[in-house]
Structure 1
Amino acid sequence: MRHAGLKARMAVVGSVLFAFYAFLALVAFAMGAGPVLIGIGTVLFVGFQYVVGKKVALWSVGAEDMPEDRYRGVHESVERLSDEMDLEKPRLMVAEMGVPNAFAVGRRGAGVVVVSTELMEALGRDELEAVLAHELAHIDNRDVVTMVLGQSIASMLGLAVQFAILFTNDRGIGNFLLAYVAGIVVQMVAMVFVLAISRYREYVADADAARHVGGDAMAGALRKIAAAGERTDNDVSDNVSALCIFGGERSALEKVFATHPPIEKRIEAVQGVDREFY
């Protein structure tokens, strides 16, 4: 089975998140909400987060459509890689992010890949192709959609806890603070499971890119992106940091909630992987 490890992890995390959601639905039902209302509310909430989250991610970096006449090489590389992956070519956009980076949003058939101008300036052709293959792999593996759904459920849990505290106690300033803190804590706990998938999916996308372009190209791209990130104080928006190929440097506490595995481990995993011919 292709990417059995990723699929198994997605299934386990999905089951845990569904258990959280089932508990949330039972609480809502106990408070008087009907099953139809719960179902409709869930669909609308997740759908809203998916659509708006995608637009916010693009808006937050000022992404614009990538002109084919100015970036012909990028378009040609994506067309070739999309054919190899049996994907419909995604919409390509360009943005000035302040750092060399790229990210993908959307699903198969409706994907978008955003590439920073800094990335195209920093990398050689093979290295840039490796990053493009990495982002296409995220769309191909459907892990972007899993991240969005996981974040939606975590957000719903946090909001539910806040409402439960506010509506079952007096609404003094103390309870408002308690509701806010409790909601954040519950959302963070749920996000631990989502972030575990986020880190693993980066390894899988790196490996996919290495098979299409070569492990040395992928490793070289990661080295240059990490080095550029260390030389600048600029950072990507929180709206897209989890989606980008590089998540930045982190403190010990931040590593617990990191969206990306350590860059040195990613380089070690892909180094020397031979390109497969399709």
Structure 2
Amino acid sequence: MRRFGVRLLMALVGVCLLGLYLAVGVALVELLAVLFPGRPDLTVLVGGMVGSALFFGYLSYRVGTRRLVTGLGAVELPRERAPWLYRRLDGLRAEMAVGDPRVFVASLPSPNALAVGAGEGVVILDRDLFRILDGDELEGILAHELAHLETRDALVQTLGSSLVETLSGVLFLLLFPVGLFLAGLRRVGTWIAGRRPEPFDRHLVRVHYRVSQFVVVLLLALTLALRAHSRRREFRADDRAVEVTGDPLALARALSRIRDAARPRQGPLSSLYIYGQEEEDALTRLLATHPPMDDRIERLVERTERSMARIPVR
């Protein structure tokens, strides 16, 4: 009898909670109706969201170079310290639509290189590249990075990432109340069934996790498209580097030496490096920012073989 009374009491608590949740929901709807009396135009709403995402993405792109250089502890390389490097850089610039980028050196987690900025941007080289690469190989790496500056790849990637992040935030804000409502119904059902529910903070953590997962699934297509673009731009930068240097094997050797020197780490700068993370299974390879290094080297070797085959034999 006592057990029946406890279960009845728990069921009453569940019903009361349901009423409370409904009352809070109605109050929030009424509040939104007061704050936003007119129905917003969908075109204006979407345009504003996209415009703000692009604006803040561009702002981050413009101010991010100095923060990146500082964060990596990079030091500018004076022209008088490496005149041979600047001679090769000047020769590449004469063939490409770039300004006069500043060259920095830094101690990166592994031998690598990256370029940020448009036109007159910044090229950052790991110190170990001067040890493991010869002059022609380093010139190939420089040409690859200048190709990224020439096509403003970092800007496109930043704007794309900003759009995806903004859309993720908007979707999360829209779906989180739905998740809370469903979690509340589940909590009410637990009380009515006579079972002791979990603490409310655990419900919040679970709702946050599930909603985040749902948003990731919804935006998977956009994320895959952005990562596919990132991989294509690496191939394009390789091709452009070969076009201006005329030596695909030098770039292939450079990539091979960088690959053998160390494995890259994942992180927020992975998409900017010449060598990014590489994954084995199909899904993670689709989400990778870089194509497999072996594929890039193989393309360069095949390009050399095709060029050699076109040379007439006398």
Class of the TM-score when normalised by the shorter of the 2 chains: 0.7 to 0.9
1:17 aligned partner: none
Change (3 A) 1:183 1:29: farther
Matches within 5 A, 1:187-202: 187-202=219-234
**2:110: which partner in 1?**
99
Quick one: percent identity of the two aligned structures?
A: 30
1:90-239 residue pairs with structure 2 within 5 A? 90-108=101-119, 110-168=120-178, 170=180, 173=204, 174-213=206-245, 214-230=247-263, 235-236=264-265, 238-239=267-268
Q: Give the counterpart of 2:77 among 66, 72, 79.
A: 66
2:54–2:162 contact (8 Å) kept in structure 1: no
Secondary structure (helix, strand or coil) at the match of 1:69 reads helix
What is the CA–CA distance in structure 2 between the aligned matches of 1:189 and 1:81, rounded to whole Å? 37
Q: CA deviation at 1:67?
A: 2.2
Aligned match of 1:269: 299
TM-fit CA distance, 1:63 = 2.0
Deviation at 1:182, TM superposition (A): 2.7
CA RMSD of aligned residues (A): 2.8
Asked if residue 247 in structure 1 is aligned to residue 257 in structure 2, the reply is: no
Label 1:115 to 1:33 Cα distance change in 2 as closer, same or farther (>3 A). Answer: same
8 Å contact kept, 1:66–1:94: yes
Letter of the structure 2 residue corresponding to residue 79 of structure 1: D
Cα deviation, residue 197, structure 1: 1.1
Instruction: For structure 1, list consecutive stretches of 5 or more residues without a partner in the other structure.
Output: 1-27
SS at structure 1 position matched to 2:262: helix
CA-CA distance at 1:146 after TM superposition: 1.5
Report how many residues are paired: 243
- Equivalent residues of 2:277, 2:288 under 8 A apart: no
Q: Is the 8 A contact 1:57 1:239 kept in 2?
A: no
Distance 1:134 1:40 in 2: 31
Normalised TM-score (structure 2): 0.68
Gaps of 5+ in 2: 1-38, 182-202, 308-314
Post-superposition Cα deviations, 1:124-158, rounded to whole Å, max 9, x if no partner, equal 00000000000001111222222111111111121
Q: Distance in 2 between matches of 1:101 and 1:204?
A: 18
- Is structure 2 residue 100 aligned with structure 1 residue 78? no
What CA distance in whole angstroms lies between the structure 2 residues aligned with 1:105 and 1:116? 15
Indicate the structure (1 or 2) with the bigger Cα radius of gyration. Answer: 2
Q: CA, structure 1 residues 116+37, in 2 after alignment: closer, same or farther (shift >3 Å)?
A: same
Question: Matched residues in 2 for 1:226 and 1:146: separation?
Answer: 26
